[in-house]
Structure formats: C-alpha cells, structure tokens
Structure 1
Amino acid sequence: MKHAALVFLHALSPLHAGTGQGIGAIDLPIAREKATGIPYLPGSSLKGVLRDRAASWDRDTRFAVFGPDPESASDHAGAVQVGDAKLLLLPVRSVYGVFALVTSPYLLVRFRREAEMVGLGTPETLEVQNPGQALLAPGSRVLGDGGKVYLEDLDLEAREEAGARAWEDWLAQRLEAPVKGRLVVVHDDLMGYLLETATEVVARIRLDDETKTVARGALWYEESLPTESVLYSLLRTEDSRRKGQNLPAEAILAMVKGLLEGPVQLGGKATVGRGLCAFKVVGGQA
C-alpha cells in the first residue's frame, strides 16, 4: 500500500539551497534545474531534516521509516520518498501592495500535475498572451494606475481574470503565505527573466580583527530565494520493509506530518538566519 501528499514550503527567511562554489559573478548560487533554470530545493535536504527531527524516535522505528544507517544501507529501503521542492510562487517587489507573489502558466501546469497525483482538484490552467501582460484577480492590491502592474522595473498590462481569482482563492485556502490579493501570473518567458534577476543576492565579508577592514579574499556573494517564496514537494510513503516493524503507509504518513509541525530550518547559512520555513501538508490518498 502507498500513500501520497503534497508538502507546501513557505520561506520565513531567505532560503539558500546552495550548489557549492559558483563559476559566475555569484560565488554561492542557489540550486537550479538543469533544463529549466528554475530554483529548487533537493529532496535529500528535506529528507535529511525529517530524519534529524525523528532523533527522539526509537532506533527501529526510525530505521523502518527512513532506512538504516549508511553502513547497513543494503538491508532494506526506507518507507518515505521525498521529492525535490519545486518553486511555485516567487515574491517580487511591487510598486503597489509592497510585493506580488508571481507564477507562470508552466509553473502552474506542473504543480497541477503533482496535485492530481494526491487527489487534489485544482483550477483550470491559464494562458498569458505575451510577455508584456499579467493576469490577476479582480480587485488585486497590486493593480496600479492605468491598469498596470509594476514589478521591479517592469510595467505590465494588467488583465483581471476569474481564472486568476480561482487560483488565488485555492492557494489562499491551503497556504499561510499572504497570497490573497497578491497573486500575479506572468508569461513563461518573463518568469524566466524574473527567476534570474529577482532572487536575493547579498555581499558577505569577513573583517580583519586588527584593521577592521575586509580580510584578504574574504568578500563573496550569496544567492537565496527571498522571504515569502513558496515551494512544494511530493511526499510518498509505503508499508515499512523492516522485519518486526509492521508500519502501514498511512501511519507513516501521519508520523512524518508530525515532524513538520513548527518552523524548520532548511538549506545552508543557518547561523545567520537563513532557511527558516513553515510547512503545510495537504491531500493524501492511497
């Protein structure tokens, strides 16, 4: 027997899911999908945090759910499968409403695909005619003068649409992120541009104790997903394979849900406040 659910991840502080040293202008970039360039959080990061939070469980239960330690990895597989956390909503600075939560038709299509896997019905897909247009719910707080939406240094022609309202309401019912009045759907091409330019990049330095100036070679740039970003991950559980631990998939899913209560730290740079996230588990079917 198998069970599955969607896990929503809401960034409460900038989220740095890094790839190690970069070769471009940013020394420590975030992880991005090879084909699409869309930022993501590796499923291994989330699964590792879940296993860490299960440290208070007895050893056999923990091994039944997450698998044994590496030296005994050939004994049996774990009963939890955690997918990569894919980006759904990117916060972008807005002249009106402070910021918008931006997505695109492609991001919604692939989210819809995974939502259907766990039995969640979603609104219909949307289409944006050209890169200069943006769809938003009627009465949106990011709608500006002259029927425009102003994101960063871009001004887009706003089109109020019932389909955008349907998505905004659907997400607002399931997320604690401030989606209501802020959802903006832009063209896929423009979304690609925002994913390159609207992430958070900060300069980090280390001072020389004596001179109080930047130490030699101690200036670097880090990239993060901004606070209020929303990602999602597909979570699947199976009946445990460990002898003597007959845990059904449904019970394991409930146990994993319990591990996601309260704020969770993900990614790197935890000591400087990066990666504090809130979770919401929705759906769940055999």
Structure 2
Amino acid sequence: MKSHPLYLYALDPTHIGAGGYRMGRVDLTILRDAGSNLPKVPGSSINGATRSAAIYSLPEGERQRAMAYARATIDEKNKKHPHKGGEDPVARIFGYAEGGDEGESRIGAVSFRDAEILAFPVPTMLGPRWVTTAHLLERAGCSKVPRPASEEQLIAQAGAAAPRRLNLGWLLLAADAREIPFPETAKGLPVFEHIRERLVVVHDNLFPAIVNSNLETRTSVSIDFETGAAADGALFTYEATPRGTLFRGQVDLDDGRFPDIAPAALPLLEKALSLACTLGLGAMTTRGFGRMQFALVK
C-alpha cells in the first residue's frame, strides 16, 4: 500500500452538506466529524468528484467507452454493461459493482481518506492568521511543535512583526513568538509559504470553538420565476468553511493486491483531481463554491 498525503486549499467557500434541514442557527449545516465537531471533506465526496472527473480526463476514444459503462451502471436494471468492469479504464481503478447473475464486482485500487482541517484562516488586527494545533501539525509529520502553556496563550510564528497579544476574531490572547514547523512535503502549493509565515498554534481545547465561531453563514432565497422576485417562505441559511482553509487528507494506492493497476492509476488520478478541484467539491459549485488547489505528495 502506497499512501500519498493530499492537501486541499480552498479557493472558494466550501459547503459539504450534512443532509437535510436542522433546527438551530442555520438551516443547512455542513458535515462535521462526530468526535471533534470540526468540519471536514469526507473521502466519499473526494472520491465521487474525482471518479466523475476521471471520465473526462481520458482520451476521446476511452472517454466514450467509460461514459457508456457509467450510464449502464446507473441504469435502473444495471444489467446491460457494454463491457466488463475490469476492461473499463475508470472502473478498474475506482472499483465497480455490476447487477445481474453474471455481473462482477471488485473494490477499487484507490481509496480516499477524509480531509481534515490543518490550518484555518481567522481575522486578526494584523490581518488573517492561519490557526492550527500542535496535534494537527504532528499528525502531518512535524516534530518539535511548540505548545501553548494554557488556553489563554497562543504561539505565533517568529518574525519581525510577532505581536505580544493577538486577537483571533473576538478572542484576545497572549502571544509567544516561536518557530513553528510546517510539513516540508506540503510545498506543492505556492500558498504554503504564505500560510507558514502567518501560522498560529492554539490550545487543543480552544481550536473547535475558534473554527465553529468563524464559519461563513450565508442567506439565500429562491426566486419566483413568474415575478422575478423572492418567493414567499423560501428564505434559507447555510454554512460554509471560508476561503483559505487548508485541509489534509490521504490517497492510498493498493499496489499489493493490484500491482498491475496502481502504477498507471496515479497519472489519471492527478488529472482527475485537477479537473475535480477546478469544477468544485461539494454543493453550490455554480454559485461560486467549492474550488480547490491540490497537492498530491508522491
């Protein structure tokens, strides 16, 4: 098994819906991790968008072949595939399940892990700062990460403009300027150096509150197509993680069970990820949501 860290930098706000309406501050909430209550991009969302984009990343002849197989897969009977899944350029990488008595099924050679927040942008009196924790940086491969002594203190990246006190939104904390490491393998994006210079480490207990209190909340309304005005009773609100959020996930290639598929899968995977991130992940991509920059560390 070959594991590749996947970094996603949000160029637009991102809305990965939790499904259905909720009673509370907003109608449409975003998906959160059950243990930490932090927003995330689930691996299923990345996988679905990447698999769809993989079809359009193929040469013309293979693309038509893959599209015909995909149409047969979503057909109600799911029995009239033009060819076997092992012969399809996309299904053989992402897996397939064919209906009928003679249908075959196989897991994919590639799997996507949930992308969790690594650094979260927060407004301060000195401009935006990217907030993280020592635990998150250590999970990303960093060592000797400084830790705040208490919830009332933060660690700011050492530099000429390091402050003694810094506000994170509505919180004002004492700041200690120290060198904060950042994943060396995360240099696939030009914005990484910008984030590293403005990195802030807070206490683990404080991080969920900072993230959830600085999410975007937007209001939309459905339009009455006859009048061109807002429809009565059609006002709704929804959450989004803000532009500038840095996520870290993982892509696994199973070269143990699929030694003939895994090496050829990586180039197609990179093309598909590029297209998927350009079109957008999650909901409301036609409303300016979901675009990403990605770095797949080899």
Q: Which has the larger radius of gyration?
A: 2
Structure 1 residue 78 displacement after superposition:
1.2
Structure 1 residues 108 and 25: CA distance shift in structure 2, 3 A: same
Does residue 47 of the first structure (1) align with residue 47 of the second (2)?
Answer: yes
Paired residues in the alignment total 263
Structure 1 residues 130 and 27: CA distance shift in structure 2, 3 A: same
Q: Please give the root-mean-square deviation of Cα atoms over the aligned residues, in Å.
A: 2.5
Structure-1 separation of matches of 2:249 and 2:15:
17
Structure 1 residue 174 displacement after superposition:
4.2
Residue equivalent to 2:79: none
Residue equivalent to 1:6: 5
Aligned-partner residue type, residue 25 of structure 1? R
Structure 1 residues 35 and 180: CA distance shift in structure 2, 3 A: closer
Structure-2 separation of matches of 1:212 and 1:18:
27
Residue equivalent to 2:187: 173
Does residue 100 of the first structure (1) align with residue 100 of the second (2)?
Answer: no
Alignment deviations for residues 78-114 of structure 1 (CA, whole Å, 9 cap, x no partner): 1111111111111111110x211111123223333xx
Structure-1 separation of matches of 2:257 and 2:90:
12
Residue equivalent to 1:138: 158
- Whether the 8 Å contact between 2:2 and 2:255 is mirrored in structure 1 is no
Structure 1 residues 110 and 254: CA distance shift in structure 2, 3 A: same
Structure-2 separation of matches of 1:258 and 1:211:
43
Residue equivalent to 1:117: none
Structure 1 residues 61 and 225: CA distance shift in structure 2, 3 A: same
- Whether the 8 Å contact between 1:64 and 1:240 is mirrored in structure 2 is no
Structure 1 residue 190 displacement after superposition:
1.6
Structure-2 separation of matches of 1:151 and 1:240:
46
Structure 1 residue 172 displacement after superposition:
6.7
Structure 1 residue 252 displacement after superposition:
1.7
Residue equivalent to 2:147: 127
Residue equivalent to 2:166: 149
1:82 to 108, 112, 118: 112
Matches within 5 A, 1:1-286: 2-20=1-19, 21-56=21-56, 57=58, 58=62, 59=66, 60-68=88-96, 71=99, 74-96=104-126, 98-112=127-141, 122-139=142-159, 141=161, 143-144=162-163, 147-162=164-179, 164=180, 166-167=181-182, 170=184, 173-177=187-191, 178-208=194-224, 214-239=230-255, 247-261=260-274, 263-282=278-297, 284=298
Structure-2 separation of matches of 1:16 and 1:77:
28
- Whether the 8 Å contact between 2:98 and 2:105 is mirrored in structure 1 is no
Structure 1 residues 215 and 125: CA distance shift in structure 2, 3 A: same
- Whether the 8 Å contact between 2:109 and 2:261 is mirrored in structure 1 is no
Structure 1 residues 135 and 226: CA distance shift in structure 2, 3 A: same
- Whether the 8 Å contact between 1:171 and 1:179 is mirrored in structure 2 is no
Structure 1 residues 52 and 208: CA distance shift in structure 2, 3 A: closer
TM-score when normalising by structure 2: 0.80
TM-score when normalising by structure 1: 0.83
Structure 1 residues 253 and 209: CA distance shift in structure 2, 3 A: closer
> Structure 2: where are the runs of 5+ without partners?
67-87
Structure 1 residue 11 displacement after superposition:
0.3
Select between 46-55 and 57-66 the one with higher mean Cα deviation.
57-66
Structure-2 separation of matches of 1:171 and 1:157:
31
Structure 1 residue 156 displacement after superposition:
1.3
Question: Residue 187 of structure 2 aligns to a residue in which SS?
Answer: helix
Question: Residue 159 of structure 1 aligns to a residue in which SS?
Answer: strand
Question: Residue 252 of structure 1 aligns to a residue in which SS?
Answer: helix
- Whether the 8 Å contact between 2:9 and 2:246 is mirrored in structure 1 is yes
Structure 1 residues 219 and 240: CA distance shift in structure 2, 3 A: farther
